[in-house]
Structure formats: C-alpha cells, structure tokens
Amino acid sequence: MTLYELQARGYRLTTAEIIYRLPDHPALLQSFIWQKFDLAPDFPELHKFLEFWRQNIEGKLHSVNVKQSSRTAGNRFRHVKHTLTLH
C-alpha cells in the first residue's frame, strides 16, 4: 500500500517514545523511539510492536508516550536568506 493510500484511510505518522527498564539495572530507564504510520485511536501497529517487545525483549516496559501527526500534506521547504551561528 502506498503512503497516499495509507493517508487516505486515516493513517498518520505516529511516534512513540518507549521508556523501559534496563534488564541488568532495573532502577535505570532507557528510551527508544518507534515511528510508523498508524491509525488512531486504536494504534494497531504500535500494539503489535509492543506485544513483540513484551515477548522477545528483556527490558520491562515502564511507559509509552505517543504523538501523531495531524497533517495530511507533505512538508514544505522554505528558502532561508540569512543564517546566524552562535558560539
């Protein structure tokens, strides 16, 4: 299925920040970024990935923060006339 077909069906770019515990040091948290086109509010692709995580990865999940793009059009580019460098 093409990107356009996914967007026409309501899929949007979804980003999830997955916070998990390190297997050898459970008091420490690590972050993992997952990104894929998914369908809100059920997020079937994200749920499939999280189920895979629970079954195959040792790091226990702590939390998942989900953000989804609301734009259907592609990003636009703008020409920059000036740049500034700060030290």
Rounded to two decimals, the pTM is 0.76
Cα–Cα dist 52/62, whole Å:
15
pLDDT beyond 60 at 75: no
pLDDT beyond 80 at 86: no
Cα–Cα dist 45/47, whole Å:
5
Cα–Cα dist 60/26, whole Å:
8
Rg (CA), the chain: 18
Per-residue model confidence as pLDDT tens digits over 3-56: 888 888 899 999 999 999 999 999 999 999 999 999 988 999 999 999 999 999
Q: What is the pLDDT of residue 78?
A: 62
Cα–Cα dist 11/69, whole Å:
9
Q: What is the pLDDT of residue 14?
A: 94
Q: What is the pLDDT of residue 70?
A: 74
